[in-house]
Amino acid sequence: MAVHSEVLQVRTSGKGTYEITEDVAAVVRQSAITAGTVTVFVQHTSCSLIIMENADPTARHDLEKYFDRLVPENESYFQHTSEGADDMPSHIRMVLTRTSEVVAIAEGRMQLGTWQGIFLFEHRRAPHRRRVVVTVVGE
Amino acid sequence: MAVHSEVLQVRTSGKGTYEITEDVAAVVRQSAITAGTVTVFVQHTSCSLIIMENADPTARHDLEKYFDRLVPENESYFQHTSEGADDMPSHIRMVLTRTSEVVAIAEGRMQLGTWQGIFLFEHRRAPHRRRVVVTVVGE
Amino acid sequence: MAVHSEVLQVRTSGKGTYEITEDVAAVVRQSAITAGTVTVFVQHTSCSLIIMENADPTARHDLEKYFDRLVPENESYFQHTSEGADDMPSHIRMVLTRTSEVVAIAEGRMQLGTWQGIFLFEHRRAPHRRRVVVTVVGE
């Protein structure tokens, strides 16, 4: 049994989904762990992680539009507004998605399905540099 | 420390929740691992996993009705529609729930609470055969 | 490689968020595991776990208000109502958040970002005693 960990830096340029599947796969290969799990963990409260359909970009477009409607800006009851209109919605969108994703590893690679990709979901408008900790545990 | 992994096949016959608790428990028993975690991972983007109340079927009925309202079909801004009206909602419902669930193992069994069950949440109308990877890590 | 597990008891006094970050950190320290993951798992279907902004209490206030609106009580189609108006919404709010959170461990401590805290999210009005299983796996 072994543990292998690396930190990824992801640059974002506004709200949207940024695929990191290949970066995570590279850490799994580097670990030489052939069976176990990989935990992807993002160290922020205004972006999040999702596993999403990665073939047709319109699926992500529709997802992003859906979240803009599900969590509107400028709700009259919002008190946490000092950092801008996209601040409080970013925390809510994070809570409704995930801070960590865990993917099975077998035969030396992540067991993602054909259409599954791992994405960082950025909820802020301004550019950010995001830190993602990738931890492989197994044998 | 050891890793034990099996793939479950789950047949679905339309939208709804399908309990897989006993199938996952069987993999945990088969692993002979007495302490650690079990990661349940579904390899699809149009169904998902949830842990839900497993005693009263009306709780799942209400949950399913809620999701039908939370993520309506035929939104005018949807572009990802070539596979039918239930396609894009299925991806959104998946993102709002989970691709993986992780459950603690102690004393040789999953530490689920009295009313907790693990369910595959099918979001498509047509029958599907779904693959679920169960990975037990521990000692 | 090792596994270390402890059960936390969390007393809640109505709907809201209850921080457990320091309790989880204490289990990680106690484990003496320096690299791996910690899985926090709540054994109930009417409360859940979230990782949330932990500096400004208004962020959690707004989050709680948002969930009250997202999942209203007394929907006409609800059938699972015998335990009160907050029963079915509590299951839905649980499904929309998480039963487990997994956090990376490196250099002997959880790799939480500056503003990240771990919270039990209580969805019932009445006081409850909640059980949270903390499982550390690593080396």
Sort out which chain A residues have CB atoms less than 8 A from C138's CB and list them: 3, 137
Task: Report pLDDT for B130.
Answer: 98
Structure tokens at A68: 């803009």
Whether C1 shows a pLDDT value over 90: the answer reads no
Residue A68: partners with Cβ closer than 8 Å, 6 or more residues away: none
Helix (H, G, I), strand (E, B) or coil at B121: strand
Q: How far is CA B110 from the centre of its chain?
A: 16
Cβ of B111 and C133 within 8 Å?
yes
First to last CA, chain C: 4
Whether B110 shows a pLDDT value over 90: the answer reads yes
pLDDT digits (tens, 9 = 90+) for B115-124: 999 999 999 9
Chains B, C: CB contacts under 8 A, how many?
A: 91
Q: For residue A98, what is the DSSP state?
A: B
Quick one: which of A20, A40, A42 has its CA closest to A137? A40
Q: What is the mean pLDDT of residues C16-29?
A: 98
Residue C75: partners with Cβ closer than 8 Å, 6 or more residues away: B62, B66, C88
Sort out which chain B residues have CB atoms less than 8 A from A104's CB and list them: 5, 39, 41, 100, 133, 135
Per-residue pLDDT band for C79 (boundaries 50, 70, 90) equals very high
Cβ of A95 and C63 within 8 Å?
yes
Chains in touch with C (≥3 Cβ pairs < 8 A): A, B
Whether A109 shows a pLDDT value over 90: the answer reads yes
Q: What is the mean pLDDT of residues C85-102?
A: 98
Q: What is the mean pLDDT of residues A10-29?
A: 98
Residue of chain A whose alpha carbon sits nearest to that of C105: A135
Whether B104 shows a pLDDT value over 90: the answer reads yes
Give the ipTM.
Answer: 0.97
Residue of B75, B81, B83, B91 for testing the chain A interface, max A β-carbons within 10 Å: B91
Whether A1 shows a pLDDT value over 90: the answer reads no
Angle ∠(B25,A49,C21) on CA atoms, nearest 5: 75
Element holding B90 (H helix, E strand): helix B87-96
Mean pLDDT of chain C: 97
Residue of chain C whose alpha carbon sits nearest to that of B64: C92
Q: Whole-prediction pTM value?
A: 0.98
